[in-house]
Amino acid sequence: MSPESTFVLACAGLAAIVGGVAGPLAVRLARRVSAPAPGRAASTRADAAFLSALIPALAALGVVGGTLMPSVLTAAGLVADHCDDHGHHVHVCLAHGATTPGWLAALGAVALAVYATRAGLRLADVIRGARATRALERLGVRETHAGFPATRVPGAPRLCFATGVFRRRIVYSAALADHLSASELSAALAHEAAHLRRRDPLVLAILSVAGLFAWPSVARASRALFLAAAEEACDAEAAVTHGPEAVARALVAAARLQLSVANGLSLTGRTLTARVSALVTTDGLCVAPARGLVHAWVLPSALGVAVALFGAEVHHAVETVLSLID
């Protein structure tokens, strides 16, 4: 096997190790920061859960980036071969692939296969969901609710969901509208519009990609923690304009009708009792803007700066740890 291939597999193995270790820690943090607390808006808790879920991916990319950087600089002729000064341990670099631990390369091969399989399955789900949504929309009547395009589709099943990473819109069924009062339907649509204002479909897409670096159970737990807080945040936003009682009635009615959902943005995504309780017992609903995406765009830039400044130290630390294990 060429040094280049060995190096790629080693980097994939490192990503699997770091992501696997960071995942459970990230979930523990997400559980703590997303838990209800007096004076903490559900939107803020959702942002914290979202950012916590990115930790495994950011940690894996940071370690791989630091490990990769010296080799790239050496190949570009910008620095001398760093390995000449560190002959006492194994090397993870383009020039010395033969000294990379075989078990790390083997782990990387398995990790790449798993990453590709999970990514392929997720992409297939997205494509199927998008096709099904477009098929529904072709049958429906176009409307506007809370400033967003909406499509009312005929017949069963009873559904109401927000969708669209770029073309944000609402889809709901006439079967649902026929079984809700006007105030309940307005509250339900306001809830979905809140998801779109928060750009939750985009957040979920990012979580799907970031979740590839963690164990599937960890990715599912992180997604669930974010959605639990996001659903409460959307309930609170809808309650501001339609009143807590109308939103609570819409939740109860949706549960009674066994509402069909899509894309994880369910009107009854969390337990009904907890969400209704949050609406009717809170002394003044605490609403805050969603800022998770703003911080999420800053994090990769900060990570790139950190890798540029401390890449050599990360690279040497990785090789030292691998030497102790090997």
Question: For position 7, what pLDDT does the model report?
Answer: 84
Question: For position 272, what pLDDT does the model report?
Answer: 76
Residue 272: closest CA among 256, 252, 249:
252
Question: For position 279, what pLDDT does the model report?
Answer: 85
In the chain, DSSP assigns E strands to: 141-145, 148-153, 160-163, 169-173
Question: For position 214, what pLDDT does the model report?
Answer: 95
Question: For position 268, what pLDDT does the model report?
Answer: 45
Q: What's the Rg (C-alpha) of the chain?
A: 24
Domain count, the chain: 1
Provide the terminal-to-terminal Cα distance of the chain, rounded to the nearest Å: 20
Rounded-to-integer distance, Cα 270 and Cα 282, Å: 17
Looking at residue 141, the DSSP 8-state letter turns out to be E
Inter-residue contact 98 to 191 (CB < 8 Å): no
Place of tokens 């803007």: 289
Looking at residue 203, the DSSP 8-state letter turns out to be H
Q: Which two tokens stand for residue 88?
A: 């006492």
Question: For position 218, what pLDDT does the model report?
Answer: 96
Q: Which domain holds residue 160?
A: 3-325
Question: For position 160, what pLDDT does the model report?
Answer: 87
Rounded-to-integer distance, Cα 320 and Cα 201, Å: 41
Question: For position 26, what pLDDT does the model report?
Answer: 96
List, run by run, the mean pLDDT of 10-residue segments along the chain (326 residues).
Answer: 81 94 96 88 94 95 87 71 60 67 90 96 94 92 93 86 94 90 92 94 95 95 93 91 90 75 48 80 73 86 83 79 74
Question: For position 295, what pLDDT does the model report?
Answer: 86
Specify the pTM: 0.88
Place of tokens 């995504």: 269
